[in-house]
Structures are given as C-alpha cells and as structure tokens.
C-alpha cells in the first residue's frame, strides 16, 4: 500500500493562532494514526505580505507544539519556475486570459450594472465575480497592452475550462476526523467566476500553487479548514485541466474565538506566541483545540 501523505501549509503573512494549531495537530494525528507522512509547506507567494519574521514565528510555534515534519520544507517562493511552466501551458491552451481591469474599474462596472437593475453575482465568500469583459479583447489589443506594461492578472476562463473538461466534476470529501466515511461533492468552480491564476509579476496564485504543490509533493489527503471547502471546486477544475492527480479532502471545523467568530491573524489573545508567553503549554493548546 502506498503511504498516505498529509501536509500543513501555512502562509507567513501573520502569526499562527489556535485555528492553525488545530489544523497542524490534526494533520499530525492522522499521519501518525495511518503510519503516513507529514509535510510542511510555506505558502509565501505573496511577497508583499509574507515576511521572514512571520516565517520564523511559524517554525518557532510548530516546534514548540511538537509538530514533526519531513524535510525538505517546500517554500513556494523558491519554486516560481514550476508555476511558470504550468502557467505557460494554460496560456498556450487559451484557458487563461490577461485581465486588465483595476479594482476601481471593476467596482465602477459593477455599480453601473447594478444601477441598471441587475444583481451582480457574488462568489461563495461574497466577493463580486470578475466582469469577464477582457475575454472579448482582440489578441492584438491584448498584446499591445501587455507590451505597454499595463497592469494585469491572468484569469482562468472558467467556461472554457469547464467545456474542455466536458463532464461534471466532483471531489471526495471525508466526513469525520478519522477519515472513515467519504462522499462525492459536486465541484462548482463556476461559482467563483474567472479566478486569478497568476499575476503579472508573480507567475501563480493561491489556487494554482496549491494544486501544483499538492501534486508535486504527492499529497494523498488535504486536511484543512472548512473555510476552503467551496474553493476546492476551483482546485478540482485546475487539477483536471492540468492532468494532475486528485487528493481526498477533509475540511475540518474551524476553531472559533470567544465571540463565536472565525479567528483572524490579528487576534492577539489566541495567537500561539501570545499564549506561550502567557505561560500556556503545548498540552494546554491541545486541550483548547480538542486534540
Ligand atoms: N495557505 C493557506 C492558509 O494559510 C492554506 C491552504 C491550504 O491548506 O490549501 O490559509
């Protein structure tokens, strides 16, 4: 039997909190219960928000928690050429297009359309979908703008990608922390519209890097927070058009703050470093998150 492979994939754009601790410890628990592997991936493609200080904090917190992971750690910012190669394929297959609208232009376009009485569609996170007007730009005009260094992002042409796949997509979702029962969930990538798959300066985005890395690292089980549940649809579509294997998924419960809301990186009182400094032990953290 092939070894099960799990990963914990934090982004060093803030401090780890109890929610991260739960995710990391659950991955560790499943890896050790199944005799599998646990890998660590630093998701630092956002070079403006990720810092070496936050990354150092992640290592400090995880070591303190007693998390053990295999070497080497994959740091996404060291692998831009892997993503570039995949992006080039998507460009040549015309499954992505350069989208030039700025945030302000998007907002104005949507406001104008809503004034005419149209309810603009939103993604599952409540963000308005990208108005896919650039899809109709003639190739010459695209090239002219790119040659003039106009800002743009590569967006997935979700309709073209779905048509290429030609069949309904689903993913396998485990329904409990022991990974016993699983069910097929219908993937609905179109609910997210034409998502960004790369930026002009950075040849990837969260979605693209995550599917490329899950495949390159041989991840068999993606265990992560419920907040990424519906985004899995986009990732399944990318896996399919890129011919990548599909892992199984378990989207675990989120650890909520005292106010019943999702924890954020700015909650100092549930940050692992703050808890440690206040005298908490790793066992206290395990008890707090229920592992
Ligand atoms: N880097 C993402 C985060 O910190 C997690 C991505 C994933 O697990 O797929 O929220």
* Rounded distance from Cα 198 to ligand 1 centre (Å): 17
Quote the crossing angle between the two packed helices 206-216 and 80-92, to the nearest 10°: 110
Bridge partners of residue 250, in order along the sequence: 223
Q: What is the dotted CATH code of the domain comprising 1-78+256-291?
A: 3.40.50.620
140-182 pLDDT per residue, tens: 999 999 999 999 999 999 999 999 999 999 999 998 988 989 9
φ/ψ of 88, rounded to 5, equals -60, -35
* Rounded distance from Cα 23 to ligand 1 centre (Å): 10
Question: Rounded CA gap, 99 and 76, in Å?
Answer: 24
Q: What is the DSSP string of 125-146?
A: TSPBPP-GGGGGS-HHHHHHHH
224 lines ligand 1 (CB under 6 A): yes
* Rounded distance from Cα 207 to ligand 1 centre (Å): 10
11 lines ligand 1 (CB under 6 A): yes
Ligand 1 atom with the shortest distance to the CA of 7: 8
17 lines ligand 1 (CB under 6 A): no
Nearest to 218 by CA among 39, 76, 42, 31: 39
Listed in sequence order, the residues at least 6 apart from 150 whose beta carbon sits closer than 8 Å to its beta carbon are: 100
Dihedral sign of CA atoms 199, 56, 273, 41 in order: positive
156 lines ligand 1 (CB under 6 A): no
Question: Rounded CA gap, 184 and 187, in Å?
Answer: 9
| Residue of minimum CA distance from atom 4 in ligand 1 | 10
Tens digits of pLDDT across the chain (291 residues): 679 999 999 999 999 999 999 999 999 999 999 999 999 999 999 999 999 999 999 999 999 999 999 999 999 999 999 999 999 999 999 999 999 999 999 999 999 999 998 899 999 999 999 999 999 999 999 999 999 999 999 999 999 999 999 999 999 999 898 898 999 999 999 999 999 999 999 999 999 999 999 999 999 999 999 999 999 999 999 999 999 999 999 999 999 876 677 766 655 568 999 999 999 999 999 999 999
157 lines ligand 1 (CB under 6 A): no
3-state secondary structure of 56: helix
19 lines ligand 1 (CB under 6 A): no
Bridge partners of residue 170, in order along the sequence: 186
pTM, entire model = 0.94
Taking the domains of the chain in order of start, what are their residue ranges?
1-78+256-291
Contact 56, 45 (CB under 8 A): no
10 lines ligand 1 (CB under 6 A): yes
* Rounded distance from Cα 224 to ligand 1 centre (Å): 7
* Rounded distance from Cα 39 to ligand 1 centre (Å): 13
What is the layout of strands, in order, in the sheet containing 153-156? 96-99, 153-156, 196-199
DSSP 3-state percent helix, strand, coil across the chain (nearest 5): 45, 20, 35
* Rounded distance from Cα 46 to ligand 1 centre (Å): 13
């Amino acid at each position: 039997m092939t070894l099960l492979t799990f990963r914990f994939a934090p982004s060093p754009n803030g401090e780890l909190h109890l929610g991260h601790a739960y995710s990391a410890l659950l991955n560790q628990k499943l890896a050790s219960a199944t005799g599998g592997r646990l890998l660590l991936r630093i998701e630092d493609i956002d070079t403006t928000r990720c810092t070496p200080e936050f990354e150092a904090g992640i290592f400090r917190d995880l070591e303190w928690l007693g998390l053990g992971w295999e070497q080497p750690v994959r740091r996404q910012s060291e692998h831009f050429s892997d993503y570039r190669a995949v992006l080039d394929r998507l460009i040549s297959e015309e499954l992505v297009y350069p989208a030039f609208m700025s945030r302000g232009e998007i907002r104005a376009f949507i406001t104008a359309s809503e004034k005419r009485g149209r309810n603009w569609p939103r993604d599952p996170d409540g963000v308005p979908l990208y108005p896919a007007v650039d899809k109709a730009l003639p190739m010459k005009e695209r090239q002219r703008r790119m040659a003039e260094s106009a800002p743009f992002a590569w967006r997935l042409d979700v309709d073209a990608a779905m048509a290429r796949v030609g069949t309904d997509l689903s993913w396998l979702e485990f329904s409990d922390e022991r990974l016993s029962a699983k069910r097929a969930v219908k993937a609905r990538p179109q609910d997210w519209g034409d998502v960004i798959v790369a930026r002009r300066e950075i040849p990837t985005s969260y979605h693209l890097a995550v599917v490329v890395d899950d495949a390159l690292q041989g991840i068999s089980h993606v265990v992560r927070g419920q907040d990424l549940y519906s985004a899995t649809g986009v990732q399944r579509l990318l896996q399919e058009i890129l011919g990548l294997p599909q892992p199984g998924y378990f989207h675990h419960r989120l650890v909520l703050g005292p106010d019943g809301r999702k924890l954020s990186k700015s909650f100092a009182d549930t940050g692992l470093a703050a808890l440690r400094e206040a005298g908490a032990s790793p066992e206290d953290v395990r008890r707090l998150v229920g592992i």
